[in-house]
Amino acid sequence: MTLLNTLLFLQVDIEEKIKNAPDKGYEIGVFIGTMLPFIVLVIIAYAIYRYNKKKNQ
């Protein structure tokens, strides 16, 4: 439940940051900063999957 509340709070915070952004560059930075942690987690998960797959063969 706490994770859901945190995600909802972050969504509102991101929308507010974009609304108050001084220019488009800031909006792009917020988008990249929001997506980057998810991309890093996917890369780490894939690396672990690949390592374990090679280890089992």
Alpha-carbon gap, residue 21 to 24, rounded angstroms:
7
C-alpha distance from residue 32 to each of 2, 19, 27, 52, 53 (Å): 24, 16, 9, 30, 31
Q: How far apart are CA 54 and CA 4, in angstroms?
A: 35
Give the tens place of pLDDT for each residue, 1-31.
566 666 556 666 777 777 777 887 888 887 8
Q: What's the pLDDT at 11? A: 62
Report the distance separating Cα 38 and Cα 47, nearest Å: 14
Q: What was the pLDDT predicted at 42?
A: 94
In the chain, DSSP assigns E strands to none
For residue 38, pLDDT over 90 is answered with no
